[in-house]
Amino acid sequence: GAVVSQHPSWVICKSGTSVKIECRSLDFQATTMFWYRQFPKQSLMLMATSNEGSKATYEQGVEKDKFLINHASLTLSTLTVTSAHPEDSSFYICSAPTSGRPDTQYFGPGTRLTVL
Amino acid sequence: GESVGLHLPTLSVQEGDNSIINCAYSNSASDYFIWYKQESGKGPQFIIDIRSNMDKRQGQRVTVLLNKTVKHLSLQIAATQPGDSAVYFCAENKNTGGFKTIFGAGTRLFVKA
């Protein structure tokens, strides 16, 4: 099947710093990618839809100025957590569909962010 | 953001038994549903899907049942194996000009050898 990678797989940063997480589709192009956040023992929460060539669409309650999304190319989307705080510590997961259907959606392995 | 539920219920089964995992979805307009399996520290993996015009779909060792009247999904795993131990999420898809996958609460499945 298609492969979606994320980098880094884990990161520890100090409070107040910014952290960039990359999501890549390795063997297909993705005009749309999705970013999710998952707290321990909880479900995945959709944060935003990343669109190549246009602005990301954020879900209600997600601060666009704090979670900057850039869909730089057809194979790369980045999520930057700005001015990170301990409450931003979470598992961040991206996904990308190989076509415009949800059954073609592949998920990345996730990035564990810990903010000290 | 959207999600349903805060805590993970747990299901413990004996190896070889059948498992049934249940899920309630929220939007009667959702027309497509997926079950995902998530192992610790990894992203979700697709298991099986079903469209709203169906009430049952079978895969290899897995069956999904859809009851639209009560907005309920279930995943049945036959002859459960230790490798099936994971968290299972149902997800509904809302067609919003593209699509958006909204995850349900999830159930942690423990398989006892």
- If you measure CA to CA, which chain B residue comes closest to A48? B1
| pLDDT (average), residues A78-92 | 97
- If you measure CA to CA, which chain B residue comes closest to A46? B1
Strands (E), A1-116: 4-7, 10-13, 19-25, 32-38, 44-51, 57-58, 67-73, 76-81, 90-97, 105-107, 111-115
Contact A43 B106 (CB under 8 A): yes
Q: Which residues contact B79 (CB under 8 A, 6 or more apart)?
A: B16, B17, B18, B61
Question: Which residues between 38 and 57 in chain B have a beta carbon less than 8 angstroms from any beta carbon of chain A?
Answer: 41-46, 49
Interface test with B, best of A6, A35, A43 (most B CBs within 10 A): A43
Q: Does A53 touch chain B (CB under 8 A)?
A: no
Token reading at A3: 């492969």
Q: Does B83 touch chain A (CB under 8 A)?
A: no
CA dist list (Å): A101 to A57, A95, A104, B33: 18, 12, 6, 12
Q: What is the pLDDT of residues A12-33, one digit of tens each?
A: 999 999 999 999 999 999 999 9
Q: What is the pLDDT of residues B6-33, one digit of tens each?
A: 457 899 999 999 999 999 988 888 889 9
Interface test with B, best of A26, A34, A44, A50 (most B CBs within 10 A): A44
Size of interface A-B (CB pairs under 8 A): 78
User: Between A60, A61, A108, which is nearest B43 by CB?
Assistant: A108
Strands B10-14 and B107-112, by their bridges, are parallel
Q: What is the pLDDT of residues A38-67, one digit of tens each?
A: 998 899 999 999 999 899 999 999 999 999
Q: Does B99 touch chain A (CB under 8 A)?
A: yes
- If you measure CA to CA, which chain B residue comes closest to A91? B41
Q: What is the pLDDT of residues B53-95, one digit of tens each?
A: 999 999 999 999 999 999 999 999 999 999 999 999 999 987 6
